[in-house]
């Protein structure tokens, strides 16, 4: 019994090994299959040469074209002020903003008129003496030429000078009287009011800070790359520098500029012109500042607020128009300004291109592409030239 228990497992194991060997020996050979090649799918665009108007993006701060302090040229007590003479008040050219007590100056005018009358009387008397001296010499001079003292010419010149001086003093007194009425030098707005009724002011006292509002200016920085794509208004040595109005600028070819500012939930826009460039490049930023001009920024408009001094704005400057270029999306460009193209055999081709303008949404290529070619816009960081692809959208 013990021997049978020991031999039985050995017999079963031997039979199992024999059966397995027979099955392995008689098994059919496995068929080796090659998987079909995987063709990547890409999106492509058909290239066409076109015109591209360059838009240059920059930023700046609104500033008045003229800002000055209002200072009296005569002394006295302020007797009245205009209702618009307050911070934020508007005024027109020639508006009387405030008045200084004119009584002393009126009295001076009266005195100067009396002095002028006396000087003119003395002049007329001297002219009569000169005429009488000439007549007397003609009667008694025996035909000889009379001297200047005989004809009283120095005395006449003295009286004429005295009359002219009296007239000048009267003119000055009238000017001082006129200066008691402080008038607006230009169309503008009060930035800061510093005096009020009853206050005594002397010549040189600052009455208010004012600025012009017929148009505003915005200093806009441009890089060297941006300067190459804009026709800037340059001033040369032989040309006069003039204060050019916006109405005249609209008829010229100076670049247009559109500024925008976000106020609350809305973005508002104003249009103007680039009127000049500054005389030097900023040494810290290595940028050139150009000046944009926005006409009548405080005009009433139903859909936007006024463009205020000190406001920070974005600016879009109209640049040149590029001819026969290709506009592609940023996703199509690879490191080193290379792109992928699909040739006529549906295979990938790598090519280096020359990008001359770029922004966040578009790239402009001048060289390296041709009309009719298909540009891959699907990112292919590990693409291999010659790989067959399938275009899913074109």
Residue 96: per-residue pLDDT = 94
Please say which residue of 295, 321, 347 terminates a domain: 321
Identify the pLDDT of residue 216: 93
Residue 250 has pLDDT above 70, yes or no: no
Any idea which of 58-67, 133-142, 217-226, 379-388 has the lowest mean pLDDT?
A: 133-142
Q: Are residues 196 and 149 in the same domain?
A: no
Ranges 60-69, 133-142, 315-324: which has the least confidence: 133-142
Q: Residue 238: its pLDDT value, please?
A: 66
| Count of other CB atoms within 10 angstroms of residue 297 | 21
According to the model, what pLDDT value does residue 210 have? Answer: 94
Structure confidence at residue 245 (pLDDT): 45
Q: Is residue 379 part of a domain?
A: yes
Distance in angstroms (rounded) separating the CA atoms of residues 85 and 98:
8
Q: Establish if 35 belongs to a structural domain.
A: no
Q: Which of 183, 152, 167, 175 is nearest to 70 (CA)?
A: 183
User: What is the band of 5 on the pLDDT scale with cuts at 50, 70, 90?
Assistant: low
CATH code of 194's domain? 2.40.50.100
Domain end residue (candidates: 268, 295, 321): 321
Does residue 276 sit in the same domain as residue 334?
Answer: no
The pLDDT value given to residue 244: 45
Residues 139 and 238 in one domain: no
The mean pLDDT of the chain is 85
- pLDDT band at 142, cuts 50/70/90? low
Q: What pLDDT does residue 78 have? A: 94
> What per-residue confidence (pLDDT) applies to 285?
85
CATH number at residue 387: 2.40.420.20
DSSP for 89-129, written as a single string = -EE-TT-EEEEE--HHHHHHHHHHHHHHHHHHHHHHHHHHH
* pLDDT over threshold 80, residue 103: yes
223 φ, ψ (degrees, to nearest 5): -80, 170
Question: Do 278 and 365 belong together in one domain?
Answer: no
User: Is residue 116 a part of any domain in this protein?
Assistant: yes
Confidence of residue 220 (pLDDT cuts 50, 70, 90): very high
Judged against a pLDDT cut of 70, whether residue 271 lies above it is answered with yes
| 202: phi then psi, degrees, rounded to nearest 5 | -115, 170
Rounded-to-integer distance, Cα 283 and Cα 285, Å = 6
Do 246 and 279 lie in a common domain? yes
- Per-residue confidence band for 251, with pLDDT thresholds at 50, 70 and 90: very low
Say yes or no: 225 and 267 in one domain. yes
Residue 167 lies in a domain: yes
Are residues 77 and 200 located together in one domain of the fold? Answer: yes
* Range 73-99 average pLDDT: 93
Determine the Cα–Cα distance for residues 84 and 87; give it in Å rounded to an integer: 8
Domain identity same for 226 and 281: yes
Place of tokens 């995987």: 38
Are residues 236 and 311 located together in one domain of the fold? yes
pLDDT digits (tens, 9 = 90+) for 158-168: 888 999 999 99
Residues spanned by the domain of 383: 42-53+323-393
What average pLDDT does range 186-196 have in this prediction? 92
Question: For residue 20, is it within any domain?
Answer: no
What pLDDT sits at residue 247?
42
Domain match, 312 and 275 both: yes
Percent of the chain scoring above 90 in pLDDT: 43
List the CATH number of the domain containing 288: 2.40.30.170
Q: How confident is the model at residue 31 (pLDDT cuts 50, 70, 90)?
A: low
Judged by average pLDDT, the poorest of 141-155, 238-252, 260-274 is 238-252
Pairing of strands 256-263, 312-328: antiparallel
- pLDDT of amino acid 6: 64
Total domains in the fold of the chain: 4
Of 321, 354, 381, the one marking the end of a domain is 321
| CATH number of the domain to which 139 belongs | 1.10.287
For the cut 60, the answer to whether the pLDDT of residue 241 exceeds it is: no
17: in domain: no
200 plus 74 within the same structural domain: yes
The predicted pLDDT at position 265 comes to 85
Instruction: Answer whether residue 246 shows pLDDT above 60.
Output: no
Please check whether residues 370 and 262 belong to one and the same domain: no
- DSSP letter for 242, please: -
pLDDT tens digits for range 339-379: 888 888 888 889 899 999 988 888 999 888 898 888 888 88
């Amino acid at each position: 019994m013990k021997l049978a228990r020991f031999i039985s497992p050995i017999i079963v194991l031997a039979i199992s090994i024999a059966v397995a060997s027979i099955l392995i020996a008689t098994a059919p050979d496995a068929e080796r299959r090659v998987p079909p090649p995987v063709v990547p799918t890409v999106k492509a665009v058909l290239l066409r040469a076109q015109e591209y108007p360059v838009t240059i993006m920059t930023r700046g701060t609104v500033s008045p074209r003229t800002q000055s302090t209002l200072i009296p040229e005569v002394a006295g007590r302020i007797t009245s002020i205009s209702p618009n003479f307050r911070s934020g008040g508007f005024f027109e050219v020639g508006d009387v903003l405030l008045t200084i007590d004119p009584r002393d100056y009126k009295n001076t005018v009266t005195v100067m008129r009396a002095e002028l009358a006396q000087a003119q009387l003395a002049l007329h008397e001297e002219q009569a003496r000169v005429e009488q001296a000439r007549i007397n010499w003609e009667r008694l001079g025996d035909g000889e030429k009379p001297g200047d003292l005989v004809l009283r010419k120095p005395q006449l010149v003295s009286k004429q000078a005295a009359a002219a001086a009296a007239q000048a003093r009267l003119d000055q007194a009238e000017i001082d009287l006129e200066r008691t009425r402080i008038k607006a030098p230009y169309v503008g707005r009060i930035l800061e009011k510093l005096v009020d009724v009853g206050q005594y002011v002397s010549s040189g006292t600052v009455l208010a800070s004012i600025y012009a509002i017929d148009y505003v200016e915005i200093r806009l920085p441009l890089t060297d790359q941006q300067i190459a794509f804009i026709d800037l208004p340059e001033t040369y040595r032989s040309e006069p520098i003039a204060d050019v109005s916006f109405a005249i600028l609209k008829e010229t070819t100076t670049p247009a500029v559109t500024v925008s500012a976000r106020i609350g939930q809305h973005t508002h826009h104003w249009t103007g012109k680039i009127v000049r460039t500054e005389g030097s490049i900023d040494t810290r930023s290595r940028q050139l500042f150009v000046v944009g001009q926005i006409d009548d920024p405080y005009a009433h408009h139903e859909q936007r607020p006024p463009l205020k001094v000190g406001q920070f704005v974005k600016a879009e400057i109209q640049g040149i128009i590029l001819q026969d270029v290709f506009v592609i999306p940023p996703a199509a460009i690879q490191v080193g300004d290379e792109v992928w193209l699909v040739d006529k055999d549906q295979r990938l081709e790598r090519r280096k291109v020359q990008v001359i303008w770029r922004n966040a949404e578009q790239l402009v290529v001048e060289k390296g592409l041709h009309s009719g070619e298909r540009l891959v816009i699907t990112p292919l960081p590990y693409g291999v030239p010659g790989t067959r692809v399938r275009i899913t959208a074109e």
